């Protein structure tokens, strides 16, 4: 009879313990992973291990107090899906995605398995403004990710990055107080000297400034030659027939010239190597335009305009290259 009563009491004790255990309690390994992730992310709020375990893991307050090992081989084993990034890196990436509203409903554990595995990158450089740029733009509160990316692309097109990478650019050029307006460097030292002399920017510098404004959508409908006159110091009577470097479209060869070139005007002797992959006519056009810009900056056009009756620079240059 005594044995029967002991067996009955033992069974009741087991059932009582089973019912008392929280249904949503985490295992010690899972709780340790959660604790270390919060520790790496700096979100513990001053809680120690046992306080965290009781508050965040559903562990019975009377459970044995233990201290987990730091995120070493033990916690690494429980973060098997995040072998690519450390817990700290993954947590930072998760918080950035959360701030940028690009989680799309994904929870922490799903995020770390899909976004922090082997081969994952903690940051990304955008080619164009995308949600990815927003996810990595947590250090640029001044401009939005889209504004900063547009500014970066404009600087890249204008050749004014000076070797700066995306992350360095957004930290230095997109922080609080930064302007989204594209303001490319006002020419190089030589160009600045030319401007000071009253001759405006060189054709190359003006073209770079025009491209930057075009990329940044700040032209407000202004065409190339109007831009040159208003932004680069070109004279009101300057050549209006010359196109911008990226707007020179080849449809057919110009008319055969009926005049000879002024003495001393320089023409290219062959098609430039950088246009060797283009069709012959298009390659001649671009080679001639480069030489026109160079002659213009050197004040060595001899009065020629790009296109004019009887034979402008383009027709004379094209004929010289064809011969």
Domain assignments of the chain as residue spans, ordered by start: 131-173, 239-323
Greater confidence, 148 or 140? 148
- pLDDT at residue 122, rounded to an integer: 63
C-alpha 195, offset from chain centre: 32
- pLDDT at residue 5, rounded to an integer: 57
CA torsion angle for 274, 278, 280, 282 (degrees, to 10)? -90
pLDDT in tens, 24-49: 577 777 877 788 888 877 788 888 87
CB 112 within 8 A of CB 36: no
- pLDDT at residue 180, rounded to an integer: 62
**Calpha distance 171→47 (Å, rounded):** 33
Per the confidence metrics, is the pTM higher than 0.85?
no
Q: The tokens 């547009």 sit on which residue?
A: 150
**Calpha distance 233→249 (Å, rounded):** 25
The answer, yes or no, to whether residue 226 has pLDDT greater than 60, is yes
Percentage, residues of the chain above pLDDT 70: 68
C-alpha 124, offset from chain centre: 8
- pLDDT at residue 186, rounded to an integer: 44
Around Cβ 280, how many Cβ atoms within 10 Å?
13
pLDDT in tens, 114-139: 787 766 666 544 444 444 444 444 43
**Calpha distance 181→175 (Å, rounded):** 14
- pLDDT at residue 234, rounded to an integer: 74
The answer, yes or no, to whether residue 185 has pLDDT greater than 50, is no
**Calpha distance 155→215 (Å, rounded):** 9
- Short-list 208, 250, 249, CA closest to 232: 208
CB 293 within 8 A of CB 203: yes
Around Cβ 181, how many Cβ atoms within 10 Å?
11
**Calpha distance 268→290 (Å, rounded):** 9
**Calpha distance 211→186 (Å, rounded):** 13
Q: The tokens 């009879």 sit on which residue?
A: 1
The answer, yes or no, to whether residue 266 has pLDDT greater than 90, is yes
The answer, yes or no, to whether residue 144 has pLDDT greater than 50, is yes
């Amino acid at each position: 009879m005594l044995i029967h009563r002991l067996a009955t009491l033992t069974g009741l004790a087991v059932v009582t313990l089973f019912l008392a255990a929280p249904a949503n309690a985490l295992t010690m390994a899972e709780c340790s992973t959660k604790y270390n992730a919060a520790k790496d992310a700096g979100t513990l709020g001053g809680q120690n291990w046992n306080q965290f375990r009781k508050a965040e893991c559903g562990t019975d307050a009377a459970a044995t107090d233990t201290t987990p090992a730091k995120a070493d081989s033990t916690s690494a084993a429980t973060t098997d899906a995040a072998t690519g990034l450390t817990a700290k890196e993954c947590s930072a990436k998760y918080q950035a995605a959360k701030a940028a509203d690009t989680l799309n409903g994904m929870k922490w554990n799903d995020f770390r398995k899909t976004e922090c595995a082997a081969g994952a990158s903690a940051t990304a450089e955008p080619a164009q403004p995308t949600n990815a740029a927003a996810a990595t733009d947590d250090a640029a509160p001044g401009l939005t990710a889209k504004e900063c990316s547009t500014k970066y692309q404009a600087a890249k097109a204008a050749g004014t990055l000076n070797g700066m990478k995306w992350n360095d650019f957004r930290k230095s050029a997109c922080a609080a107080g930064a302007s989204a307006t594209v303001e490319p460097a006002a020419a190089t030292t030589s160009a600045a000297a030319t401007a000071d002399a009253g001759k405006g920017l060189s054709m190359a510098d003006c073209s770079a400034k025009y491209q930057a404004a075009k990329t940044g959508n700040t032209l407000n409908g202004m065409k190339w030659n109007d831009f040159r006159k208003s932004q680069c110091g070109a004279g009101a009577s300057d050549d209006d027939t010359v196109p911008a470097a990226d707007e020179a479209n080849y449809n057919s060869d110009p008319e055969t010239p009926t005049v000879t070139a002024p003495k001393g005007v320089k023409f290219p002797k062959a098609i430039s190597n950088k246009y060797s992959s283009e069709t012959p006519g298009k390659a001649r056009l671009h080679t001639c335009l480069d030489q026109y810009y160079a002659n213009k900056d050197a004040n060595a056009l001899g009065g020629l305009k790009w296109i004019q009756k009887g034979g402008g620079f383009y027709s004379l240059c094209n004929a010289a290259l064809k011969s």
